[in-house]
Amino acid sequence: MEKQEKIVSMFNNIAPTYDTANRVLSMGIDKSWRDKACKKAFELYGKNSIDKIVDVACGTGDMILFWKEVAKKKNIDLKNIVGVDPSVGMMEVGKKKLPEVDFIEAFATSMPIDIQSADIISISYGIRNVVQRQEAFIEFARVLKKDGLVVISEFTKNKKENLLDHITAFYMDKVLPTVGGIISKNKEAYRYLPDSIDEFLTTENLCKELKNAGLEPVYVKAFSMNISTLIIAKKV
């Protein structure tokens, strides 16, 4: 748990500047990744009324905003959405943006949410920060209704096979920590991002872990030169 606590502390530290840094570092592209994740999940789920979405590692509530906006555009009746995160600092920022949303302080591995109560669980750019990942997937399966969806957006590990791959790697390894460090005044936190991707799983292995928890991947797609990958899995 010591590693997990250190990660939480780091996010508490960068919370005030996190949204600004995200927009600058992704050049706004992360908005399209989140939008596509919501649209595809709603399409696959195929229901006009949804009881509950749980956004895990919700941070400052970015993904919650997209769930609400896309549901509204698609005339989907979204009855309840909650954010779960162990970082109080990040959620304090989220509460100011979304005062109507319930934010719950909890780890992904142990959520105070009823069994089989959620239609969709999302985790955006947060699963690599979960140290006990397999336990988290088992917890997701517990909370999800049958045929419910897990929606994961993440920076996954990819082979460097061409020039674009090497340019992307240079940006992530050199540019991102420097710019993120200037904005947040915490270069170590933004050094953590490329390091955590390097230490992270491939898409294939992540899909295996989901299957081990009874979550069957039904949609896998990489975006923007394979920087971000969307994986949607169904509880079977």
Task: Please check if 85 is assigned to a binding site.
Answer: yes
Cβ-contact 216, 234 below 8 angstroms: yes
Cβ-contact 213, 235 below 8 angstroms: no
Categorise residue 225: left if φ over 0, alpha if ψ from -120 to 50, beta otherwise. Answer: left
DSSP designation for 201: P
Backbone angles phi, psi at 59, to 5 degrees: 55, -125
Task: Please check if 26 is assigned to a binding site.
Answer: no
Task: Please check if 87 is assigned to a binding site.
Answer: no
Closest CA to 155 of 227, 55, 232, 63: 227
Q: How far apart are CA 36 and CA 225, in angstroms?
A: 16
Cα dihedral 162, 179, 156, 97 sign: negative
Neighbours of 48 (CB within 10 A): 11
Q: How far apart are CA 8 and CA 13, in angstroms?
A: 9
Neighbours of 92 (CB within 10 A): 14
Annotated binding site for S-adenosyl-L-methionine: 60, 85, 124
Annotated binding site: 60, 85, 124
